[in-house]
Amino acid sequence: MSGTLLSLTGVAKSFGDVDALTHVDLEINSGQVIGLVGGNGAGKTTLLRLMAGVMEPTKGMILFGDQPVSQMRTKLGVVPESTGLYSRLTAWENIRYHSRMYGIDDDVAWNRVSHFANKLDITDALSRHTKGFSRGMRQKTALLRALAHGPDILLLDEPTAGLDVTSARTVRGLVGQLRDEGGTVIYSTHHLAEAQQVCDRIIIVHNGTIRADGTPEHLLDITGDTTLEDAYVTLTSDKARVRDEDNRKEGKLSKWWRLFLTGRTPKSNISLLDMAEVDEDE
């Protein structure tokens, strides 16, 4: 299957006087794994949120087919960096709750989930409560949740961040399976080696602009470099912008809460929370 699923024309996004993205033109075709690569603060998460329809652009249009993407969100599956699972529900209950919101029958959702659960080696854990799940298990559950309603595009924000080697490899394997079955995946990462391994097409985002868009071989060709890392450095040679929050002074209330909750001052190396195991979803 081929054809344009998602198109961005003249898209820009500002937050107050900060331009997060400026004039983005992209077409997302079906049957590809497309990598969004950039450093922290480059604008790739903002771009992903715009593609997911959870943000409106300040300028420009984002269409799914011929409709605004904000009206076609049922066609999208999203896995944010924070999984947001309900710890008192089982993995399947988390997935079922999500799929029911999309109007999907439980039997249909279960069949879809079962199709991928074996690949992720999570079938036996579907009946377990997610409280106490490892980071990898939470990420796998979030992936199944995003796939349960049969989306046309899967959007992944740093899907292997914090995962062990085996779990990260399993997630990449699932992405490859989705592509082989004709699916479309937008894969945000700051790991060039991972992007080269997983993605058919790489979009480099830097300082709110698209610096390059093409296959890994194309990026090497236009820069004349021999490695993707060198090509990335060439294409992003200008200094990365300072994020707004890096310049913002900490308020008195924020400082008080940080000291109260963590016992950590800006110069201290040890937190009270470092001494205890904390569940991410609690």
Q: What is the mean pLDDT of the chain?
A: 85
pLDDT above 50 for 273: no
Proportion of the chain above pLDDT 90, given as a percent: 57
Q: What is the pLDDT of residues 96-116, one digit of tens each?
A: 999 999 999 999 999 999 989
Q: What is the pLDDT of residues 80-95, one digit of tens each?
A: 888 889 999 999 999 9
Q: What is the pLDDT of residues 144-175, one digit of tens each?
A: 999 999 999 999 998 888 888 988 999 899 99
pLDDT above 80 for 269: no
What own/partner pairs with CB < 8 Å and gap ≥ 24 does 167-172 have?
167/134, 167/135, 167/136, 167/139, 167/140, 168/194, 170/119, 170/120, 170/121, 170/136, 170/140, 171/120, 171/139, 171/140, 171/143, 172/197, 172/198
Q: What is the mean pLDDT of residues 238-265?
A: 57
Q: What is the mean pLDDT of residues 32-61?
A: 91
**What are the residue ranges of CATH 3.40.50.300 in the chain?**
4-248
What is the second-level CATH architecture of the domain 4-248?
3-Layer(aba) Sandwich (3.40)
